Amino acid sequence: MNQSSMAGATGTSARAWSITRLPGKLLEVTFSPGMSLGADDTARLVQSLQHHSGSHPARVLINVSGLSNVCPEVAGVLSSNSRPTRLAFLGESLMDEVLAGFILPELDDAITSRYFTARAAALAYLGQR
Protein backbone atom coordinates (compact mmCIF):
# COMPACT_ATOMS: atom_id res chain seq x y z
CA MET A 1 0.00 0.00 0.00
CA ASN A 2 1.44 3.36 -1.01
CA GLN A 3 0.87 5.72 1.89
CA SER A 4 2.26 9.05 2.93
CA SER A 5 1.20 10.94 6.01
CA MET A 6 0.85 14.66 6.40
CA ALA A 7 0.06 16.39 9.69
CA GLY A 8 -2.10 19.41 10.37
CA ALA A 9 -1.61 21.73 13.29
CA THR A 10 -3.77 24.03 15.37
CA GLY A 11 -1.34 26.90 15.80
CA THR A 12 0.79 24.93 18.23
CA SER A 13 3.23 22.18 17.51
CA ALA A 14 0.58 19.65 18.52
CA ARG A 15 -0.68 17.40 15.80
CA ALA A 16 -4.39 17.95 15.22
CA TRP A 17 -4.93 15.46 12.42
CA SER A 18 -3.11 13.36 9.88
CA ILE A 19 -3.94 12.82 6.22
CA THR A 20 -2.92 9.54 4.63
CA ARG A 21 -3.03 8.74 0.92
CA LEU A 22 -4.82 5.48 0.20
CA PRO A 23 -4.96 3.52 -3.07
CA GLY A 24 -7.44 4.78 -5.67
CA LYS A 25 -6.77 8.49 -5.03
CA LEU A 26 -8.52 8.29 -1.66
CA LEU A 27 -7.47 10.30 1.38
CA GLU A 28 -7.97 9.38 5.04
CA VAL A 29 -8.21 11.90 7.87
CA THR A 30 -7.50 10.76 11.42
CA PHE A 31 -7.87 13.15 14.36
CA SER A 32 -5.80 13.28 17.51
CA PRO A 33 -7.58 11.65 20.45
CA GLY A 34 -9.79 14.08 22.34
CA MET A 35 -9.62 16.79 19.67
CA SER A 36 -12.38 19.39 19.56
CA LEU A 37 -12.91 20.28 15.89
CA GLY A 38 -13.49 24.00 15.39
CA ALA A 39 -14.06 26.19 12.35
CA ASP A 40 -10.41 27.32 12.05
CA ASP A 41 -9.09 23.74 12.23
CA THR A 42 -11.67 22.69 9.65
CA ALA A 43 -10.67 25.51 7.28
CA ARG A 44 -7.02 24.40 7.48
CA LEU A 45 -8.09 20.80 6.96
CA VAL A 46 -10.14 21.73 3.85
CA GLN A 47 -7.13 23.61 2.41
CA SER A 48 -4.90 20.63 3.06
CA LEU A 49 -7.39 18.22 1.46
CA GLN A 50 -7.67 20.45 -1.61
CA HIS A 51 -3.88 20.54 -1.88
CA HIS A 52 -3.55 16.75 -1.61
CA SER A 53 -6.44 15.93 -3.95
CA GLY A 54 -5.11 18.23 -6.68
CA SER A 55 -7.56 18.80 -9.52
CA HIS A 56 -9.50 15.63 -8.70
CA PRO A 57 -12.73 15.64 -6.68
CA ALA A 58 -11.84 14.72 -3.12
CA ARG A 59 -12.85 11.28 -1.83
CA VAL A 60 -12.12 11.28 1.86
CA LEU A 61 -12.49 8.79 4.69
CA ILE A 62 -12.91 10.84 7.87
CA ASN A 63 -12.29 8.81 11.00
CA VAL A 64 -14.27 10.68 13.67
CA SER A 65 -13.26 8.35 16.52
CA GLY A 66 -10.62 10.76 17.84
CA LEU A 67 -13.02 13.69 18.14
CA SER A 68 -14.52 14.78 21.45
CA ASN A 69 -16.52 17.74 20.11
CA VAL A 70 -17.56 19.40 16.84
CA CYS A 71 -18.46 23.10 16.67
CA PRO A 72 -21.65 24.07 14.77
CA GLU A 73 -19.70 25.86 12.00
CA VAL A 74 -17.82 22.74 10.83
CA ALA A 75 -20.42 21.72 8.20
CA GLY A 76 -20.43 25.21 6.68
CA VAL A 77 -16.65 25.26 6.44
CA LEU A 78 -16.60 21.77 4.86
CA SER A 79 -19.25 22.96 2.39
CA SER A 80 -17.08 25.93 1.39
CA ASN A 81 -14.97 23.50 -0.66
CA SER A 82 -15.85 24.45 -4.24
CA ARG A 83 -15.09 21.00 -5.69
CA PRO A 84 -17.48 18.06 -5.69
CA THR A 85 -16.58 15.82 -2.79
CA ARG A 86 -17.50 12.41 -1.41
CA LEU A 87 -17.01 11.96 2.33
CA ALA A 88 -17.32 8.77 4.36
CA PHE A 89 -17.47 9.42 8.09
CA LEU A 90 -16.19 6.37 9.98
CA GLY A 91 -16.86 5.82 13.66
CA GLU A 92 -17.00 3.13 16.29
CA SER A 93 -19.30 4.42 19.03
CA LEU A 94 -22.63 6.11 19.58
CA MET A 95 -20.71 9.30 20.39
CA ASP A 96 -18.99 9.13 16.98
CA GLU A 97 -22.37 8.76 15.28
CA VAL A 98 -23.77 11.73 17.22
CA LEU A 99 -20.80 13.93 16.26
CA ALA A 100 -21.09 12.94 12.59
CA GLY A 101 -24.84 13.56 12.88
CA PHE A 102 -24.17 17.22 13.66
CA ILE A 103 -22.24 17.57 10.38
CA LEU A 104 -23.99 15.35 7.80
CA PRO A 105 -27.41 17.09 7.53
CA GLU A 106 -25.80 20.51 7.18
CA LEU A 107 -23.44 19.73 4.29
CA ASP A 108 -23.87 21.37 0.90
CA ASP A 109 -25.48 19.34 -1.91
CA ALA A 110 -22.12 19.17 -3.75
CA ILE A 111 -20.87 16.93 -0.95
CA THR A 112 -22.08 13.34 -1.00
CA SER A 113 -21.64 11.82 2.43
CA ARG A 114 -22.62 8.96 4.74
CA TYR A 115 -21.74 7.57 8.15
CA PHE A 116 -20.25 4.08 8.48
CA THR A 117 -19.16 1.77 11.28
CA ALA A 118 -17.29 -0.63 8.96
CA ARG A 119 -14.10 0.55 7.24
CA ALA A 120 -14.57 -1.80 4.25
CA ALA A 121 -18.06 -0.41 3.57
CA ALA A 122 -16.79 3.17 3.85
CA LEU A 123 -13.96 2.49 1.39
CA ALA A 124 -16.35 0.77 -1.04
CA TYR A 125 -18.65 3.81 -0.87
CA LEU A 126 -15.74 6.14 -1.63
CA GLY A 127 -14.74 3.97 -4.59
CA GLN A 128 -18.15 4.37 -6.28
CA ARG A 129 -18.36 6.73 -9.21
Residues composing the chain: 129
Counted domains in the chain: 1
What tens digit of pLDDT does each residue of 83-114 get? 778 999 999 999 999 999 989 988 888 789 99
Q: What is the CA radius of gyration of the chain?
A: 13
20-31 b/e (C-beta count within 10 Å ≥ 16 → b): bbbeeebbbbbb
- Bridging pattern class, strands 5-9 and 15-22: antiparallel
Please give the residue range of the domain that contains residue 26. 5-127
Which residues, 6+ apart, have CB-to-CB distance to 54 below 8 Å? none
pTM to 2 decimal places: 0.85
What is the model's pLDDT at position 9? 44
| CATH number of the domain enclosing 70 | 3.30.750.24
What is the model's pLDDT at position 128? 82
Sheet holding 5-9, edge to edge: 5-9, 15-22, 26-31, 58-63, 85-90, 111-116
What tens digit of pLDDT does each residue of 6-58 get? 445 444 335 689 999 999 899 999 999 999 999 999 999 989 998 988 888 88
| Nearest residue to 106 (alpha-carbon basis) of 66, 65, 78 | 78
Please check whether residue 8 is in contact with residue 19, taking contact to mean a CB–CB distance below 8 angstroms: yes
